[in-house]
């Protein structure tokens, strides 16, 4: 599954995971 691959990448690259989480959080704030 794509989600499992993404989680695997996030675990391999913690910095990328942080950037993605921040991007999602910013998107939620902008959308709402």
State the pLDDT at residue 25: 92
Q: Closest by alpha carbon to 19, among 28, 29, 10?
A: 10
In the chain, domain spans:
2-31
Q: How far apart are CA 30 and CA 12, in angstroms?
A: 29
* pTM greater than 0.75: no
State the pLDDT at residue 20: 85
- Contact (Cβ atoms closer than 8 angstroms) between residue 14 and residue 20: no
Q: How far apart are CA 27 and CA 32, in angstroms?
A: 8
Q: What is the phi-psi region of residue 13: left when phi exceeds 0, alpha when psi lies from -120 to 50, beta otherwise?
A: beta
Q: What are the residue ranges in the chain where pLDDT is below 70?
A: 1, 6-12
């Amino acid at each position: 599954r794509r989600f499992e691959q993404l989680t695997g990448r996030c675990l391999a690259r913690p910095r990328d995971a942080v950037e993605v989480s921040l991007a999602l959080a910013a998107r939620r704030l902008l959308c709402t």
